[in-house]
Structure 1
Amino acid sequence: MAAISVLLVEDEALISMLVSDWLSELGCEVHEASSADEALDYINGGGAVDVLFTDINLPGRMTGAELAQKARALRPELPVVYASGRYRGDDLDGLVPHSAFMPKPFDQRKLQHVLEQIAIGTTH
Structure 2
Amino acid sequence: MIVEDEFLIRMDAVDMICNAGFKTYEASSADQAIQLMDQHRDIGILFTDIDMPGSMDGLKLAAYVRDRWPPVVIIVASGASGVDHMMLPTGASFFSKPYQTSLISQTLRDIAGRYV
User: TM-score, with normalisation over the residues of structure 2?
Assistant: 0.88
Q: Where do 1:39-58 residues align within 5 Å? A: 39-58=33-52
Q: Which runs of 4+ in 1 moved over 3 A?
A: 117-121
Q: Where do 1:79-94 residues align within 5 Å? A: 79-87=73-81, 89=83, 91-94=84-87
2:107 is matched by which residue type in structure 1? V
Q: Where do 1:32-111 residues align within 5 Å? A: 32-87=26-81, 89=83, 91-111=84-104
Aligned to 1:3: none
- Distance apart, 1:46 and its partner CA: 3.5
CA deviation vs aligned residue, 1:63-117 (integer Å, no higher than 9, x gap): 111101111222112110000011355x243211121111111211111122233
Distance in structure 2 (CA, Å) of the matches to 1:117 and 1:50: 13
**Residues 1:80 and 1:88: Cα distance change in structure 2 (over 3 Å):** farther
* The structure with more helix, counted as a fraction of residues: 2
Of all paired residues, the percent bearing the same amino acid is 35
8 Å Cα contact 1:98/1:118 also seen in 2 = no
Distance in structure 1 (CA, Å) of the matches to 2:66 and 2:59: 11
8 Å Cα contact 1:99/1:118 also seen in 2 = no
**Residues 1:26 and 1:46: Cα distance change in structure 2 (over 3 Å):** closer
8 Å Cα contact 2:3/2:49 also seen in 1 = yes
Distance in structure 1 (CA, Å) of the matches to 2:54 and 2:45: 22
- Distance apart, 1:58 and its partner CA: 0.9
3-state SS of the aligned residue for 1:93?
helix
Alignment of 1:10 with 2:17, yes or no, is no
Question: Structure 1: where are the runs of 5+ without partners?
Answer: 1-6
* CA RMSD in angstroms, aligned pairs only: 1.7
2:39 is matched by which residue type in structure 1? G
Q: Report the count of equivalent residues.
A: 114
CA deviation vs aligned residue, 1:31-67 (integer Å, no higher than 9, x gap): 0000000001111224421100000111112011110
User: TM-score, with normalisation over the residues of structure 1?
Assistant: 0.82
